[in-house]
Amino acid sequence: FLADKSETAIIRHLLGHRIPGAPALLDSAIINCIDCESWEVSIAGRFLTEVGLVTFDSRDLQGLSSPGAYAENIFKQAYFYHCRLTKNAHMQNLRYCRGDPERNRFGCTRFVSEQELSQVLNSAFSWPIDVHKPKLGFCPVIFLGHAIHNDLRMLHESVDLSNEAMENVVATIDTQHLARAAGLDQQISLLNLVTCHEFAFRDAHTACNDAAYTLFCGIMTALARELAPLNNGSPNTAQDVVDTMEAYSKVNSRPTFGRRDYCTKCNSLAHQRRYCRVRVECSKC
């Protein structure tokens, strides 16, 4: 059904602006917005270091009377997860794609093994339509990203995603395509897209930050016409809403997987690098 539908039409359908004749199954769709970061300086290839996952169930939007100014009410239905791959967590980009994973702004960071990361992502793509009626199968999934081919490549190279889980993906949406349909640049950067929506692109190249900004921009772009009067009548700015979401997501998105504490300096499981007082000497240096 979605094969001949535009990406803008698909995401608008999930946000309450229905496509005529859409199957009822699409009313149970999940949006998974993902960003991946990797260590960019190795001649041996890229090493996946982080995955940011922002996800929400479109059924949770059905009770909303309004998206809210700058889509705040929609954003509050999302859950934000920042996964750092423990074995590669010490690898930080200081030159290319410079970022600091310890400056995550959304949700809570968890250190995970490769197996745990696979379990988290396979679960995210395998949401039961009804946990009490397993025969109904799984929710259709919309995969959202910015320049999404890069993230898909990193996931397939580094994460053991099951074929069964990925078969639930019924559409991919790229915010570059949404922006182009809205009359913006052909291959707009996430920085420029964020700037168009008038909020700050803070602590970029940290996976969950970029995933959050991608979701915000995707929804703001798709609902620009409907949001305009709400935005104009609001005392808040887009930046106010993003700031609110930073705090809200840390309380509302509590992961049950992974490990909160891991030191990328001394490998301790009792503290994080910022609190490390251990003297470490590197034989290679």
Candidates 115, 116, 126, 120; CA nearest to 163 is 126
Domain count, the chain: 1
* pLDDT in the model for residue 208: 98
Domain assignment present for residue 85? The answer is yes
Residue 244: its H or E element: helix 238-252
> Strand order in 169-174's β-sheet?
108-112, 79-85, 47-57, 30-39, 141-145, 169-174
Domain assignment present for residue 238? The answer is yes
Query: What is the domain-level CATH number for residue 195?
Result: 3.30.420.10
What spatial distance separates the first Cα and last Cα of the chain, rounded to whole Å? 58
DSSP state of 24: G
The residue range of the domain holding 121 is 2-275
* pLDDT in the model for residue 285: 47
* pLDDT in the model for residue 282: 64
Contact 136, 130 (CB under 8 A): yes
Domain assignment present for residue 239? The answer is yes
* pLDDT in the model for residue 61: 93
* pLDDT in the model for residue 42: 60
Which residues contact residue 177 at a Cβ distance below 8 angstroms, ignoring those fewer than 6 apart? 7
Domain assignment present for residue 282? The answer is no
Domain assignment present for residue 159? The answer is yes
- Written in H, E and C, the secondary structure of 217-243 is HHHHHHCHHHHHHHHHCCCCCHHHHHH
* pLDDT in the model for residue 284: 54
Q: Which residues of the chain have pLDDT under 50?
A: 285
Domain assignment present for residue 84? The answer is yes
